[in-house]
Amino acid sequence: MIGFIIKSIFLIGVLIGVFRLGQAFALADPDVIQIESVTRYDDTAITGDAFFLVEYTLNYTVLPSESISQGWLGRLIDVGGSGQLASLQPFGGHNIPDLGYSRGTYGFYFPVEPTITGTLRVTLEGNPSISPSPTGAFTESITQRDADDLAPDLRALALRLEDIWDVDLISPLFGGVNRYTADGEHYFATALPNLRNVAPDMFILQSIQPAVPDRTFDTTYTDARDALFDGTPMATGFTSLGTFLNVSTGVAKFIIALVLAIIVAFLVGRLPGLDGIEFVSTMQIWIVYLVMMGGFWIGLVNAPTLGILTVLALMSTAIVFFLQRTSA
């Protein structure tokens, strides 16, 4: 018997919960609802995109319990064409007064501008989950402006909302250029999709993708160095030496430059007045390197080999100084 009562109470609770979940909110008609303007901007963040900026007024004398984000939707519709293109909930959180029932904005962004076969209509209407649904508003009047006009238009919009809300949304920074405050960034970046990319100048911290030009690389410079001795008796000598040593002509040139570098370093190291094995060794290392660099300029050493020699010279110098410190 007790088990039956517990099961019955549990079942009644579940039914009540399901009934409450199935209940829709009721939202009265607003006292004022109007789409003030709709402006379209093309080629904002990337070529071929489209951005729609909507400004609206939605007021209640007695505020509903639901915020504007819960009760209302903004839609962009191709009437007589492909139907709804986009929809979103106007933002009414953070520090926006009156749950968002005031002057405000929302927008739509398309990376590729939509193909319109009918008539574009922008609506502000009740959420379909609300019954009865409140009376909405729509407009088919859309102004086309250049992408360069977007930032000035956003600044003007922020100043209008700032006066109505009594909230600091925009402030002159960096030489008097108006950019969003923290509250302004929070509202506009949430209400307007992809705003940081379509209007980066409005934000204090900006993110941009620098243009990196395509570059082509070739071996024209090094080829000219390698061919410096072509057609001279020295070229014949390099080839003969390579044949004698059973190596390529390039390796034969490198051997000549290396032998010359070692001889110069040895002779410099024998000069009187040079004290300290570490100093002399370091100097000889860099003399070898400098001679090999000269060999590069006259075509005896190729560029990859010179790069390897640079690393080896730095490593050798570091090893000499390390041994000096450990032996001190």
Q: What CATH number should be reported for the domain holding residue 163?
A: 2.60.40.150
Question: What pTM was estimated for this model as a whole?
Answer: 0.57
Q: Report cis status (omega within 30 of 0) of the bond before 132.
A: yes
DSSP for residue 90? P
On whether both 175 and 292 belong to a single domain, the answer is: no
- Among the residues of 181-248, which ranges form H helices? 182-191, 195-198, 220-226, 233-245
For residue 83, give the 3-state DSSP assignment: strand
Residue tagged 């984000």 (tokens): 69
Q: Are strands 119-126 and 83-88 parallel, antiparallel or unpaired?
A: unpaired
246 and 182 part of one domain: no
Here the tokens at position 39 are 């402006």
Q: What is the C-alpha separation between 300 and 221, in angstroms, rounded?
A: 14
Same domain assignment for residues 176 and 314: no
Write out the chain's pLDDT in tens, 328 residues. 444 334 344 333 433 343 343 344 568 899 999 999 999 999 999 999 999 999 999 999 999 988 899 999 999 999 999 999 999 999 987 778 899 999 999 999 999 999 999 999 999 999 888 877 898 999 999 999 999 999 999 999 999 999 999 999 998 865 567 889 999 999 999 999 999 999 998 987 655 555 556 666 667 776 776 777 777 888 788 888 888 888 888 888 888 888 888 898 888 877 776 666 666 777 778 888 888 888 788 778 877 787 888 888 888 778 876 766 565 5
Yes or no: say if 94 and 26 are a contact pair by the CB < 8 Å rule: no
Residues 137 and 257 in one domain: no
Shared domain check, 187 and 72 = yes
Q: CA 24 to CA 67: how far, in whole Å?
A: 15
Tell me, yes or no, whether 123 and 56 share the same domain.
yes
Residue 254 lies in a domain: yes
Our count of domains for the chain comes to: 2
Name the nearest CA neighbour of 254 among 290, 312, 296. Answer: 296
Domain match, 173 and 41 both: yes
Which range of residues forms the domain containing residue 253?
220-327
Of 283, 105, 99, 259, whose CA–CA distance to 193 is shortest? Answer: 105
Q: Is 20 helix (H, G, I), strand (E, B) or coil?
A: helix
Give domain status of residue 26, yes or no. no
Answer yes or no: is 84 within a domain: yes
Tell me, yes or no, whether 189 lies in a domain.
yes
